[in-house]
C-alpha cells in the first residue's frame, strides 16, 4: 500500500515561514491535499490538488508537489496556525485513501 511520510513536528517563530513535507514514492504524479486540524475539531481542507486553496483559506497557505516530496508552506506564521497538518492522496492502485502521519506545527 502507498505510504506518506511526514515529520512529526515543525517549530517556527511568528512571522516566519513554516514548511511541512510529505514524502511518497513518485508523489509528484498524484494530487496532494492538506488538512489542518486543531485540538477537538474536525480537519479542515487548506490546500487541494497540490497548490489550490479553498475559498476562505488565507493566501499565506500554499503548496507544491514534485518528485517524491510535496510541501505545505505557511508564510507569515501566526499563533492561530498552530495545529496538526495532514497530507492526503488517493491511491488509485488500491482505490483507497491515504493520509500521512501528521505534523504538529508549533508556533514559538
Partner 1 sequence: QVQLVQFGAEVKKPGASVKVSCKTSGYTFTSYDIHWVRQATGQGLEWMGWMNPKSGNTGYAQKFQGRLTITRNTFISTAYMELRSLRFEDTAVYYCARRIPCGADCYSFDSWGQGALVTVSS
Residue 3 or residue 16: which is nearer to partner 1 going by CB? 3
The candidate with the shortest Cα–Cα distance to 6, out of 106, 97, 85, 65, is 85
Backbone angles phi, psi at 80, to 5 degrees: -70, -10
Residue 32 or residue 107: which is nearer to partner 1 going by CB? 32
Q: Which three cell numbers stand for residue 74?
A: 505557511
- Chain positions contacting partner 1, by CB under 8 A: 1, 31, 33, 35, 37, 41-45, 48-49, 52, 54, 84, 86, 88, 90, 92, 94-102
Smallest gap from Cβ 39 to partner 1, in A, equals: 10
- In angstroms, what CA-CA distances link 76 with 34, 41, 102? 18, 23, 21
Smallest gap from Cβ 15 to partner 1, in A, equals: 28
Smallest gap from Cβ 16 to partner 1, in A, equals: 25
Smallest gap from Cβ 92 to partner 1, in A, equals: 7
Chain position carrying cell 486553496: 53
Residue 11 or residue 29: which is nearer to partner 1 going by CB? 29
- C-beta of residue 103 within 8 angstroms of C-beta of residue 9: yes
Amino acid at each position: 500500500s502507498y505510504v506518506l511520510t511526514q515529520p512529526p513536528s515543525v517549530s517556527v517563530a511568528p512571522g516566519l515561514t513554516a514548511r511541512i513535507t510529505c514524502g511518497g514514492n513518485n508523489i509528484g504524479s498524484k494530487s496532494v491535499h492538506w488538512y489542518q486540524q486543531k485540538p477537538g475539531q474536525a480537519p479542515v481542507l487548506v490546500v487541494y490538488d497540490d497548490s489550490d486553496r479553498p475559498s476562505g483559506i488565507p493566501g499565506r497557505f500554499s503548496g507544491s508537489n514534485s518528485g517524491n516530496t510535496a510541501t505545505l508552506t505557511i508564510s507569515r506564521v501566526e499563533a492561530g496556525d498552530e495545529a496538526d497538518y495532514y497530507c492526503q492522496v488517493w491511491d488509485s492502485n488500491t482505490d483507497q485513501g491515504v493520509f500521512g502521519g501528521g505534523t504538529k506545527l508549533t508556533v514559538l
